[in-house]
Amino acid sequence: MSPTLVKPRLKTKPKTARPPLWKVILLNDDFTPREFVVQVLKAVFRMNESQAYGVMLTAHRKGACVIAVYTRDVAETKAKEATELGRAKGYPLYFTTEKEE
Ligand code: TYC
């Protein structure tokens, strides 16, 4: 049997860089009703009742909660949209974004 020859790979595979991801963060406040926060999380971030309730409660207890990560555009649009739903009702509900390291 002839010996196995291992040929060196000559071509380098081009790697496609992944776009950086951005976190959407929900901040607690003393005025927005819990049920309204849950409604917004369900509507904008497509969460079910128990996911939305869990996120709302974490923000309520800890001051903030990371909701999800998206590309920058999507994260900023969703944060703006969700914040605007609160504003329209006169609530200080606030969603911010932060680059994921
Ligand atoms: N802290 C609010 C209350 O007691 C409820 C709330 C929870 C508001 C989470 C914002 O991100 C928030 N009514």
Supply the pLDDT for residue 66: 98
Supply the pLDDT for residue 23: 98
Amino acid, single-letter form, for residue 23: K
Q: How far is the CA of 60 from the centre of ligand 1 (A)?
A: 5
The string of DSSP codes covering 39-60 is HHHHHHH---HHHHHHHHHHHH
Q: Is residue 68 part of a domain?
A: yes
Residue 94 CA, closest ligand 1 atom number: 11
Q: Is residue 8 part of a domain?
A: no
Distance in angstroms (rounded) separating the CA atoms of residues 87 and 40: 12
Stretch (H or E) spanning 87: helix 72-88
Q: Is residue 12 part of a domain?
A: no
Q: Which domain holds residue 39?
A: 21-99
Where do we find the tokens 């994921």? 100
pLDDT at residue 33 greater than cutoff 80 = yes
64: CATH = 3.30.1390.10
Residue 31 CA, closest ligand 1 atom number: 13
Q: Is residue 16 part of a domain?
A: no
pLDDT at residue 37 greater than cutoff 90 = yes
Distance in angstroms (rounded) separating the CA atoms of residues 21 and 24: 10
Supply the pLDDT for residue 38: 98
Q: Is residue 53 part of a domain?
A: yes
Task: Render pLDDT for 40-73 as a digit per residue (tens, 0 to 9).
Answer: 999 999 999 999 999 999 999 999 999 999 999 9
Of 24, 30, 34, the residue with max ligand 1 atoms within 8 A of its CB, to mutate for a pocket test, comes to 34
Supply the pLDDT for residue 11: 78
Distance in angstroms (rounded) separating the CA atoms of residues 17 and 1: 43
Q: Is residue 3 part of a domain?
A: no
pLDDT at residue 1 greater than cutoff 60 = no
Question: Is 32 near ligand 1, meaning CB less than 6 Å away?
Answer: yes
Supply the pLDDT for residue 55: 98
- How many structural domains does the chain have? 1
Supply the pLDDT for residue 4: 72
Q: Is residue 9 part of a domain?
A: no
Q: Is residue 14 part of a domain?
A: no
